[in-house]
Amino acid sequence: MSFPFLSFFMADFFDFLDSPVWRGWPFNSGYGEQIGPAIARMIFVSFIFIAIILFLRLLYGPNGFFRDKEMDREAEEERIKERKELKALFEKGEITEFEYEIKLKRLEE
């Protein structure tokens, strides 16, 4: 069984891909086009990257669906330990109350 239209379709398709506009997409040299489409294409690619980053943050970020709970537990234990050490330094008088409050706020971030 022969499909004569298939050879025409494939030839047209490869001609389309070989056109100067698609040769270097999305980072082509811009021959034959103005600056507007090039900027629009870069904004589009940026939106794609931002969407991927936000999706991964949703999955693996704080309280994410696939985030390892052990990491959160270890981080919380480390924060508690650092707060105790900071409180001990303040009670000994090695740091001032102002320094204590600043370092405590830094630990809570």
| Interval 63-98: pLDDT, tens | 788 888 887 788 889 889 999 998 898 898 888 888
Mean pLDDT over 29-44 rounds to 70
Under the banding of pLDDT at 50, 70 and 90, the label for residue 49 is very high
| pLDDT above 90 (res 51) | yes
| pLDDT above 70 (res 22) | no
| pLDDT above 70 (res 27) | no
CB 66 within 8 A of CB 47: no
Q: Domain ranges in the chain?
A: 1-32, 34-67, 68-109
Q: Write out the DSSP string of 54-91.
A: HHHHHHHSTT-TT--HHHHHHHHHHHHHHHHHHHHHHH
